[in-house]
Each structure stands twice: as structure tokens, then as C-alpha cells.
Amino acid sequence: MAEGRRPRVAAVLGSGLGRVADAIENPIEIPYKDIPHFVRSTVEGHAGSLIIGSLGGVEIVAMKGRFHLYEGYSMDEITLPIRVFSLLGVGCLILTNAAGGISKHLKLGSLMLLIDHINLMGDNPLVGANDERFGPRFPDMTEVYSREYRDLAYAAAGEMDLVLAEGVYAGVKGPTYETPAEIRMMRDMGADAIGMSTVPEAIVARHSGMRILAISCITNNAAGLADGEINHDQVIKIGEMAGRKLSGLIVKLAPRLVGLEASSPLG
């Protein structure tokens, strides 16, 4: 790791949410193309670099842009960074994403803490030979997203007069946005928001014994829930607007998450 730094927290920044990286102090930026075996982000709103520095007084490594199945990459390729973070000894992972709102309580620009997910990607990153160095063949998924982390997030948000929602995230492969019929189906399945990322990373992180906080920025209404078409430019614009709030929240949260890990490490 650069200059002997050893990050305690890792973060993955979704579409339009790169503003969070601007809050990192003394940053070292490494383009993905310069990191062996890392693929490249090809999507607008995903810068494609690794940022190493300090946030809220703790060392952090942040992905400014992530990889997706719809870009043509494999599950192994899109989750390789999470394995790297695990090998670096990172125990705390913050995942962010841009998502379409399904539930009526989610407004454009809302921040939603994930309490669970539904994997509709048609694949699982743990398919294939299991590497026991990371975790068991059949990892438990009862609590993918840490309840204790969410409690800390609510406390930090309260200090900022920031309202957080919570809900279930449905992960789909993309790259097309969903049809209104598909959204009705997902609502019936219990999904509150939908997106094209996060689920593979969360599965691999949980397999590796990391604790996870995941936050969706609601950047559009899901298909059939508003007039007009969904477009990526809107996703990026609203993501950038919400990024300021998200950045402040993560700055407050990072040291608290690390403090929790120090006092009660995940077994």
C-alpha cells in the first residue's frame, strides 16, 4: 500500500458520488489502469481511480468508480477490489450507489440505508471453487448489512439534521432500466429501490468477514412511477447534488465505524 499506509476503512463510490473522495485528506490517487488485474470503469460518472488517504482521522481507501456486470466484466473481475481490501486487513466496507426509488417514501435525493438485498442478477460471485482463506463454502447472509453500523449512521445523521431512509435493495444486471411491469413485480417482492451494483460486492465482503454499511442515493423514480423517461444524465446530476450530504455523513461515520470494530470485532 502506498507509503506504508494501512487503511482501516474501504469505500466504493457509485454513479455521481465521487464528491465523497474530495473530502479525503492527503490523497494519493492511483488510476485503475496502473493496478495489476484491475479492469477499467467505462461508465460516465465513474472516474476510475483508487484514492488512499485520511478521512475523519482514519486511513481509508476509496474506489472512485466501480465495475459492473453490464460492462461485460465477470463477477470475479468486479469483486476483485473487495478481495484486495480484505487481504489488506480492512474490516469495514462502505458501499454507495445510485438507485431508482420504488417505495413511495423515497424521494429524489433521498439517502437510503440498505437493510437487506434481493439478488436478481442471475449470478453469484461465490460460484466456483471456494477459497477457504477468505471464508466458508456456504456463508450466512442473515445480516449482510450491519445493524450496528446503521445505528451509528442514524446517530451521525441526527447530528447533521439529515434524514435517512432505509429499505431493501434489488440488484439487477442491467444495462437497461427496468420495465414498469418488472418494477411492479419487484415491489411485490419487497424491494424499495433498485440498481445495477452493490450486491456482488456485499456478498464477497460478507464472505470475507467484513462488516458493511451500504447507502443508496435515490437518483430517479423507477419505471412507471413518474412521467417521462429515465436517463443517466439525471442520475449523475442528482447523485452529485446528494454527494455533498453523503460526504459529510461518511466523514462523521468513518472514525465511529473503526471505533466499533476496535471494541467489538466481527467474529
The residues that are catalytic are 15, 46, 68, 70-71, 98, 196-197, 220, 232
In sequence order, the 6+-apart residues with CB closer than 8 A to the CB of 37 are 80
Give residue 117's Cα distance to chain centre.
Answer: 12
Show the cell assigned to 64: 472512485
DSSP-assigned letters across all residues of the chain: -GGG---SEEEEE-TT-THHHHT-EEEEEEEGGGSTT-----STT---EEEEEEETTEEEEEEES---GGGT--HHHHHHHHHHHHHTT--EEEEEEEEEE-STT--TT-EEEEEEEEEESS--TT-SS--TTT--SS---TTSS-HHHHHHHHHHHHHTT--EEEEEEEEE--SSPPPHHHHHHHHHHT-SEEESSSHHHHHHHHHTT-EEEEEEEEEEEPTTSSSS---HHHHHHHHHHHHHHHHHHHHHHHHHHHHHHHHS---
Residue pair 134/207 in contact by the 8 Å Cβ criterion: yes
d(CA 19, CA 13): 9
Phi-psi category of 109—alpha, beta or left, where left has phi over 0 and alpha has psi -120 to 50?
left
